[in-house]
Structure 1
Amino acid sequence: MRKLLRSLLVFFTLALTLLTVLVAALALTPLDLQRESVEFTILPGSSLRGAAREISAAGVELDPWILLLLARLMRADGSIKAGSYAITRGITPVDLLKKLTRGDFTQAELAFIEGWTFGQLRRHLDAHPDLRHDTLGMPEAEIMRMVGAPQGVAEGAFFPDTYLFAKRSSDVDLLARAYRAMQRHLLDEWQGRAAMLPYRDAYQALIMASIVEKETGRSEDRSLVAGVFVNRLRRGMLLQTDPSVIYGLGETFDGNLRKRDLLADTPYNTYTRPGLPPTPIAMPGLASLQAAMHPAPTEALYFVARGDGSSHFSSTLAEHNQAVTRYQRGAKP
């Protein structure tokens, strides 16, 4: 009896050794790929067996049981991550499983540009081929609820930057990241703001930053532009900023701002209504946020574009009118 048990023990030991060698060989043998590089996407909620089927369908010769066995041995059968992946020839099943459990995704990128409106941002977002468009056709209020700002306004709420993301990830996740980035930058700048600014709260500073963003593309002028508008707010003067009027005109604006447009009263017409408009008019970048929080100490109350991207600043109306004549009407003062 003892001899039989010894024989069985030797048999099972040999069998286990052979099985271990076989599994190790399968785990470390490079997979056959139909192409030099293969891309595939694992959808959220996919099981490991379902992932193996997706990988096989993409052009990889992979027996699902190998991946399942390795996952069980590595205790990783429930930890694969949804996303888009790319693999190349030479990859082994164990390397593939590690990639799936690490979430080693292929990445795409999308840029949100300073000065874009939310409408422009959304059209750009909807057109990106590597995103999952969960917000397509969704009302703005619902989008804001999904990014964590149920009472928020979308305009100006997202930080302009270049964002990397895993292919086939949700546009909601990308918007939420951009929203959190804007909140973080806005809070940081608000906490370090200059004293005695004429803003009730950080949101009004965001509105001012959006106006500064639209009024100049020249970094040297931003704080001076902010200084002009801050001076006007302090004195109770109308801001009279064209970009805000244009924003209020919406789709009716044809690219030519006319006198009748300046007289057409909307909540965004700063020629007819005092103070700041009710919301931002675009996405301000970090430089415009900083300018709104640290306006230049200036006596200027007016500015006019020179035509080269810069502006001429004036402290009196007479000087301003001369500058308008010089730079916009093509005549000598």
Structure 2
Amino acid sequence: MQFDNPVNTKIFHTLVSQTHHDANQKTLATLPFFEEVREKVAACSDMDASYKSRIHQRIRDLSDQTLNLLVIGPKGAGKSATLKALFGEYDWQTEPPEEAQEVSRHQLNQMTIWQAQLPSEIESAPHQMNEVGALLSETTESGEPLIDRVIVVLDAASNNIDDCYLELCHTLIPMLGTMTENRLMILMNKSDKVARHIRGTSVNETMPLDAEIWLDCTAATLRYRLIHNVGVQTRPISYNALAGESPSGRPYNLQKLLASLLENLPEEKRLLLLNQPLTLGDEQWREHDDKKIYRQSMENLCFDGLHLGARDGDRFGGQLGAFLGKHGRALGNIVSDALQEKMGVTV
């Protein structure tokens, strides 16, 4: 079912174009990850001039891209908390209140984050539904959707998660039309509260196994209901953006969340996610479910994005880029070091 949107779908075009033009004027000064890589490549003695030139050109090509994300969900699910947990160094002081009834907008480094509530959560639902529909219908000059990914944030411990699922099926997914599957991500925040509900006050670990199983089952239920009812493939991710009720006093699964965002973004745009002012520190990124080595996944994606033709980092013996000779090894070390510095982690 295609959403019938009566609103002029170009209402965001002028604002976005001007913002991206202004951002492009200061690209070299505001892209810390690319700048870090560029400086390390320039200073590397294990790369010849032609290879350095290729990497520098690749960075320039990637720097010409822009990224647009829509973060949407019910009131109190933690949309703002999620953004702050990932991009905490950004100045969020101008952020509208959680109960804001309009689509709000934040401009970071060549990345625009649009934020909205699900229409059923607010009084002016028809107005905001039209506004969200207009935003999702907007296209770029090349005919591609303006919004690269729609990120739905749900409360994993909420009793109304079924209602949110139904609203996704009845309103948001029809707005996305024929390009839903490649543009939709579902996040389940506040997983620490699930652990408390299951274990009570006896929780003494970040995520006990029974709580993790419950979250996995809920995520799987959402996934297969979406496949069966609307034909959309997506894998919901459980996490908690803030320390909240976590016994460790740390967020949970943020590293998995960042790796999943990178993996699901368009290939030519994904590295823009790392050019943002990420929250720094081991305490922020340490706790996760250990189902994958998420830092390695991010390193592989970064390496593949910079060294065209590489896949999965071309690792050999655990060393990133080793299969590609001295240039690959050198770039692998640069990517690993730059990502570590970007996240502010020590290990």
TM-score class, shorter-chain normalisation, is: under 0.3
Structure with the greater alpha carbon radius of gyration:
1
TM-score, length-scaled by structure 1: 0.23
Where relative contact order (Cα < 8 A, 6+ residues apart) is larger, the structure is: 2
